[in-house]
Every structure is written in C-alpha cells, then in structure tokens.
Amino acid sequence: MLVLLPPSETKHPGGDGVPLDLTALATPELTPVRERLVDALVELAADPARTAEALGLSQKQAAAEVERNAALRTAPTMPALERYTGVLYDALDVRSLTRAQRARADRRLAVGSALFGLVRGTDAIPAYRLSAGTVLPGLPTLRALWKPVLSPVLADAGELVVDLRSGSYQALAPVPGAVTVDVLSERPDGSRSVVSHFNKAHKGRVARLLVTTTAEPADVVRLRALLRRAGLAVEHDGRTALTLVVPADEVTRRDTAPTSRSRSVL
C-alpha cells in the first residue's frame, strides 16, 4: 500500500542532516526535474522581490522563505516526514510512532512535493518554499514538468495507492485507479457540508491508522472495511472514491463550507 500525502507550506526549520543530495532521494528517475527546479529556485532567490512575486509571499514571509530557497543546496536536512508541519502532520504525529510503526510509515507514506515530485519518509530534505500552483520564471508549469515523469512512476507502483493529496497536487501527477478520500460533516438533520480546514486533520488520522495497522489492504473494498473496523463512518461510491462522514459537532463553523449535497446512502 502506498499512501500519498500533500506537503505543507510550513516546514520545521533546521535539521542535523547533511546538505541536500538529490541523487540520494528515492525515485531517481525524478532527479533531472528536481535538479532543474532546485537550480531555478536558488537562482531566483538572488532577486528577493521577484521571488516574493513568483511564490506569492507576503512581506512578512518573504525574508525567511527567500533565505530558505537560497540555501537549498547548503542547508541542513531532516527526514521528509519530520520536515512537514501543520494540521495533517500534527494528526499523523510520526514522532510518537513505535519503531515498527515508523518503519511502516517510511515504507507506506510518500509526500507529493512541488519541488521534489515525490519524497519518501526517510528522504533527507531541507526547508523550502514552492507550491503546486507556482509558475517559475522561464520554466513550464509544474504540471507540465512533473506529469510526464511522475505519473508513470505512480501508475507503476504495483500496490494499492491511497491518494490523500489535495487537488492541486493530484493535478501534478494523477494516479488512475487510486483510492481517494473526501471528508464531509453531517448535521443532525442529515444535511452535509464539505470540510475544508479540518479535512486535513481527518486525513492525517487516516494516514496514521494506515501506518499503525499491520493489515495490507489490496483494494478499495478491503480498505473500506479496515477503516470501518477502526470506527470510522466510511461510504463507498462503488468505484475508487471513499467518503469519510464526520458528525458536525466535531467540526467548528469556520472549518466548513456549505454545499448542496444532501444525505445519501452510497
């Protein structure tokens, strides 16, 4: 089973690993695109104003993020699963995993990255700033760069792929046949809302469940059964999409965006 996670804009600073070695990262066929993007970000960082504009940085963010990109090849590194922060990674909480669970996390989890394409849990990476929707000066779109090389890698995974990436990262390299998970909150009257911010926390919990279990579901039906045994309310559309239904009282008002979708049994 391969579980694809989205990255986060926020990253833990520092690290105690040696500087970035692109040839040491998993999936070496991605190295040429990685080299091209790292070079482009380092070069762009020489012009802080252009960097801020290209990356959509606020004045408050600009200095630190430009500095990070300028030091991509010299900054200390740390394992990818410890580099990313935020709601999803707080829920995943890799630092609290047992040794056996962490080994499964390193084997089963991978992070979709605008800069590196795909990183495994143990891949040593520096802090950086680059989002899926960014267009770097003088380069094609990130989708145009990544899709031709990353999509075949994911398509040839040879195991069940559970795609928890956000839409913008899925677009960089779609995975036909991957299981996706949507999160909806349900009110007492049966009406439902799309969960936005809190969606990340629930996906982080799903990811944690999938690395703390020794089970290895081979298809969407077995995955659904696994999630249900864990106490999650999961519906299946009959294809490869799962819907995680969460009681509305677990989601604050600011975390939801109303939709016209009504209660249905899938």
User: Domain ranges in the chain?
Assistant: 2-160, 179-258
Rounded-to-integer distance, Cα 15 and Cα 121, Å: 15
DSSP state of 16: S
Note the pLDDT of residue 237. 86
Rounded-to-integer distance, Cα 42 and Cα 68, Å: 9
Residue labelled with tokens 């709601």: 87
Q: 181-223: per-residue pLDDT in tens? A: 999 988 888 787 787 668 899 999 999 999 999 999 999 999 9
The whole model's pTM is what?
0.90
- Cβ burial, residue 155 (10 Å; 0-12/13-18/19+): middle
Note the pLDDT of residue 251. 57
- pLDDT above 90 for 118: yes
Helix pair angle (48-55, 59-70), 10° resolution? 110
- What is the per-residue DSSP string for 107-145? HHEEEEETTTEEEETT-EE------TT---TTS--HHHH
Note the pLDDT of residue 250. 67
Note the pLDDT of residue 255. 43
Q: CA geometry: angle at 204 spanning 101 and 19, to 5°?
A: 70
Q: How confident is the model at residue 159 (pLDDT cuts 50, 70, 90)?
A: very high
- pLDDT above 90 for 166: yes
Residue 235 CB neighbour total at 10 angstroms: 16
Beta bridge partners of 124: 79
Rounded average pLDDT over 141-156: 96
SS3 256: strand
Rg (the chain; Cα; Å): 19
Rounded average pLDDT over 15-20: 97
Helix (H) or strand (E) holding 195: strand 192-195
Rounded average pLDDT over 107-121: 97
Rounded average pLDDT over 80-94: 96
- pLDDT above 50 for 266: no
Q: How confident is the model at residue 72 (pLDDT cuts 50, 70, 90)?
A: very high
Note the pLDDT of residue 259. 36
Q: CA geometry: angle at 93 spanning 11 and 187, to 5°?
A: 100
Note the pLDDT of residue 257. 40
Contact residues for 55 (Cβ-Cβ < 8 A; gap 6+):
65, 129, 130, 131, 134
Amino acid at residue number 243 = T
Helix (H) or strand (E) holding 80: helix 80-83
